[in-house]
Amino acid sequence: MAIVIRVLVADAHAAARAGFSLLVDTAPDMEVVGAAADGEAVVDLAHRERPDVVLMDTHLPGLDGLEATARITQSRNLRDVHVLILTIHDDDVHLFRSLAAGASGFLPVDTEPEDLLKGIRATAAGQSWLNPRHTRRLIDTHVARLPSFGLLDAAASPALALALAELSNREREVLALVGQGLTNREIAERLSLSPLTAKTYVSRLMTKLDARDRVQLAINAMGSDLASPHTCPPQVPWRKARHPKAG
């Protein structure tokens, strides 16, 4: 039996809720399990329905979308619920605060329908989902400004600081490259690992740092300064990095 992705739609506007719900329901691998018009309602529905993905508008009455996202992602009972932000606020403050609140993805409301469905599928699979413009802004432009957006650095979280201190040198290298935005294959090439080994390291890091997804893992790297260019291992061609055979 095919797996169906269960989606909860949260938007302040009835027409938008209906439109997004119709789009999701037309996808053969998705179904809408609820819709909410305010933050309190979406948190309640998340606990009741345990959806795979919450499609979240940031501009909700009462408890806003970012606060609702934080409540969902911080709940131990909702560890398997992922939030994909879909918003008209396509600015740096909303981007970084959404990720800091625990969202797995961030998309502007004018995203093409097919790209939105791809984002839902990726989010349901535990992956991060940002469009290329946001990825470049996150990694290249604003890393040094994260504290000004209210993000916590590693020092503000004793548990995270302890977990970072206990990482091996190789794990720190992998984490740094995740923070730079590299894929598992790119990490494998940079560190002369097999793609499967790189994937294993990333999965292990998510467990050790209690990260919900790759986005949170990258934020942990940036907050700890591991993602700074001077801390990342240099790029070494795969063939040159191999040791010659003995004998």
- For the stretch 13-28, pLDDT in tens is 999 999 999 999 999 9
77 domain-assigned: yes
Last residue of a domain, one of 82, 108, 141: 141
Domain that holds residue 225: 152-239
> Which pLDDT does position 223 carry in this prediction?
66
Record the tokens describing residue 38, joined without a space: 């305010």
Q: Which of 35, 44, 29, 42 is nearest to 16 (CA)?
A: 35
Q: Is 67 exposed, middle or buried (0-12, 13-18, 19+ CB in 10 A)?
A: middle
Instruction: Please name the residue that has the structure tokens 């309602």.
Output: 41
One domain for residues 183 and 129: no
Are the C-beta atoms of residues 107 and 76 closer than 8 Å to each other? no
Q: Which positions of the chain have pLDDT values less than 50?
A: 148-152, 155, 229-231, 234-247
> Which pLDDT does position 157 carry in this prediction?
65
One domain for residues 168 and 106: no
> Which pLDDT does position 85 carry in this prediction?
94
> Which pLDDT does position 242 carry in this prediction?
38
> Which pLDDT does position 149 carry in this prediction?
47
> Which pLDDT does position 87 carry in this prediction?
86
Q: Is 64 exposed, middle or buried (0-12, 13-18, 19+ CB in 10 A)?
A: middle
One domain for residues 29 and 10: yes
> Which pLDDT does position 214 carry in this prediction?
76
Last residue of a domain, one of 117, 141, 165: 141
